[in-house]
Amino acid sequence: MGTSKVSTRVSIRDKLLIKEVQELESNLPGTCRTHFSNPNELHRLEITITPDEGYWCGGKFKFLIEVPDEYNMVPPKVKCLTRLWHPNINEEGAICLSLLRQSSIDGLGWAPTRRLKDVVWGLNSLFTDLLNFEDPLNNEAAEHYSKDKEGFKSKVREFVHLYARR
């Protein structure tokens, strides 16, 4: 009995993803590209973000997005695959972004009305207007910025050079 419920839920997820992936492809920010290693697995995709402004300009950052069976009731799981120096992404690839949280204090967490495009636009914005030094995941990077902006910028450039060159 439990198996049929899961397969029904997967079917709902996959139906949603067919529509959402088409929508995503036609509404990507110019700095983002999608890649499906297996075109039959729409629930697993890579996003590459190449910021054209800000501290990470010139870098190429890959993210893995995995959409769980329970989607759209729960958010996708997202991990940064590129090492970088960022207050909202730690060196293990975990990401602090409100809309990726099941419940969020600020009320901006995941809701069933959100879509994959919201996730991609949110990730892209972490390199510009959603960059948040006040609520960091990587406290060391945030403290570095508050104490020594030029040193922070230099370390970001070093990480881009070592790990994220285009």
For residue 162, the tally of other CB atoms under 10 A from its CB is 10
Whether residue 13 contacts residue 43, with contact meaning beta carbons closer than 8 Å, is answered with: yes
SS3 category, 6: helix
Residue of 32, 57, 80, 96 marked active site: 96
Angle at 152 between CA 149 and CA 109, to 5 degrees: 95
Coarse DSSP helix, strand, coil percentages of the chain, rounded to the nearest 5 percent: 35, 15, 50
Is 32 designated active site? no
Report d(CA 54, CA 156) in Å as an integer: 11
Q: Please say whether the dihedral angle defined by the alpha carbons of residues 83, 56, 120 and 99, taken in this order, is positive or negative.
A: positive
Q: Supply the residues annotated as catalytic.
A: 96
